Amino acid sequence: MATLVTRLFTKLHGEKVGEDAFGNVYYRSKRAKDTKTERRWVVYKGIEDGSKVPAEWHGWIHKTNDNPPSEPQRYPWQKPHLPNLTGTPYAYLPDGHLLNGGKRAKATGDYESWTPPTA
């Protein structure tokens, strides 16, 4: 949730550029003379987390692309964008992780531990 100062700054100095599928709204400064001096920012919907910015908007906000993205082209092999889930109940926990039972399958026998040579 944007603070009062952020909302006031955005209202006075910001020009809305677009919105992503997650409800994040992207702005640029109204009075910029060119893209080098232009200031760009995002007002997040919900929790403020940089990993919530999709790839197509990430390029624009970091000035890799001059123009804001239009409708992104999606390929069948692409997964939908997910924010970083670390620390949430939806985080990935591999077999053997302490929070996932702490047990994993035994090694298959192709593993031989290293022992240092004796002097």
15-73 pLDDT tens trace:
999 998 889 999 999 887 776 778 999 999 988 888 888 888 998 999 988 888 887 77
* 2 pLDDT more than 70: no
Least confidently predicted of 15-29, 51-65, 75-89, 101-115: 101-115
In this structure, are residues 81 and 51 in contact, taking their beta carbons and an 8 Å threshold? Answer: no
Contacts of 54 (CB under 8 A, 6+ apart): 20, 21, 22, 72, 81
Alpha carbon distance 86, 106 (integer Å): 27
Alpha carbon distance 42, 57 (integer Å): 10
What is the pLDDT, as a whole number, of residue 1? 59
What is the three-class DSSP state of 8?
helix
Query: What is the number of other CB atoms lying within 10 angstroms of the CB of residue 57?
Result: 25
